[in-house]
């Protein structure tokens, strides 16, 4: 049975962000920067290198958690950071909760 919630200590949780602007999905072909920035409940900010989708025209970047990533309970923030030949941007900020275990 897979959990529907993100839990402290989870390994292998995939965070996926689709980069969009007013025109729709951003083509990430040629992207030189593709990071996901996480702000923990303690206000510590951590930047993780994301991977581009196999087809960069989908605008999707992903990061999969490893040991030690999800180390605080509470409300986290997430933001994408990209740089492509046309410029560099940061996405809107999203939130997610990290829950305790038994």
Task: Give the chain's largest Cα–Cα span.
Answer: 48
- What pLDDT digit, counting tens, does each position of 50-87 carry? 999 999 999 999 999 999 999 999 999 999 999 999 88
Give the pLDDT confidence score for residue 21 in this predicted structure: 87
Domain ranges, ordered by start, for the chain: 6-99
Gap between the Cα atoms of 31 and 85, Å rounded: 7
Q: What is the CATH number of domain 6-99?
A: 2.60.40.10
Give the pLDDT confidence score for residue 1 in this predicted structure: 47
Q: Which residues contact 33 (CB under 8 A, 6 or more apart)?
A: 81, 82, 83, 88
């Amino acid at each position: 049975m897979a959990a529907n919630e993100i839990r402290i200590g989870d390994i292998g949780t995939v965070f996926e962000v689709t980069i969009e602007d007013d025109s729709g999905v951003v083509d990430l072909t040629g992207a030189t920067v593709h990071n996901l920035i996480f702000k923990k409940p303690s206000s510590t900010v951590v930047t993780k290198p994301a991977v581009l989708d196999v087809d960069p025209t989908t605008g999707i970047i992903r990061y999969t958690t490893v040991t030690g990533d999800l180390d605080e309970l509470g409300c986290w923030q997430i933001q994408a950071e990209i740089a492509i030949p046309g410029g560099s941007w940061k996405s809107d900020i999203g939130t997610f909760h990290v829950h305790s275990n038994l």
